[in-house]
Amino acid sequence: MSKKKNTTNITPDEKEQIPQEEQQESSIENSTDNAEQNTMQKELDAANAKAAEYLALAQRVQADFENFRKRNETVRADAYADGRKDTAALMLPVLDNLERAVEASAGSPDEALRNGVEMVLKQMTDAYSKMDVNPIYRPGEKFDPNLENAILQGTPEEGDPGTVCQVLQKGYMIGDKVLRHAMVKVVPE
């Protein structure tokens, strides 16, 4: 067995002292090592590229899921708001009839009936308040076509020109959206 010198860090003078056979063996080993290193580097580069591809894919999937979640929350909130709005609009005639019943029972000798209808009306108006439904009732104020429908014209004696002189049917808003426009009588300008 011959002892081999490490030929990787030798000076040119020392290289001349190494026998020719050892130099050839050393260069063969070096070229084999370089080939193995090149192969390993290529494999490492391929693995790194694959890892980068998988990371990019995972980030895209995560971003897509986050967008889906946000979109789903928005759709759910919109559906809830639409359902609340539709329910409130559907119940407005019931509220109108309760108000008429309270007015009609004002002259009734049956106090229990009057109190019962007033309590039901109060419960209904409280429920509407919790749903953020507010009445549009603006007598004496400037007519606003965004909130009211003018169905009759008043006379100059009934108020200032361009103002609502009588509310024939209350309108309602939910938040900042009109559920039903108020039907009003307006003094012409």
Name the nearest CA neighbour of 5 among 20, 22, 21.
22
Q: What pLDDT score does 126 carry?
A: 95
136 CB burial (10 A radius; 0-12, 13-18, 19+): buried
Q: Give whole-number Cα distances, 49 to 2, 42, 54, 55, 174, in Å.
A: 44, 10, 9, 10, 56
- pLDDT tens for 128-164 read 999 999 999 999 899 999 999 999 998 888 888 989 9
Instruction: For residue 24, name the pLDDT band (cuts at 50, 70, 90).
Output: low
Instruction: For residue 1, name the pLDDT band (cuts at 50, 70, 90).
Output: very low
The structure's pTM equals 0.62
Q: What is the C-alpha to C-alpha distance for residues 125 and 64, in angstroms, rounded to an integer?
A: 44
Choosing among 3.40.50.1370, 3.40.630.30, 3.30.2310.20, 2.30.22.10, the CATH entry for 135-189 is 2.30.22.10
> Mean of the pLDDT values across residues 111-128?
92
Could you identify the residue written with the tokens 């889906």? Answer: 68
Q: What pLDDT score does 9 carry?
A: 58
Name the nearest CA neighbour of 144 among 168, 165, 162.
162
Q: What is the C-alpha to C-alpha distance for residues 121 and 114, in angstroms, rounded to an integer?
A: 11
Are the CB atoms for 15 and 7 separated by under 8 Å?
Answer: yes
> Mean of the pLDDT values across residues 83-112?
90
Q: What is the C-alpha to C-alpha distance for residues 168 and 185, in angstroms, rounded to an integer?
A: 7
Q: What pLDDT score does 47 carry?
A: 93
Q: 186 φ, ψ to 5°?
A: -120, 140
Q: What pLDDT score does 36 carry?
A: 86
What is the domain partition of the chain in residue ranges? 135-189
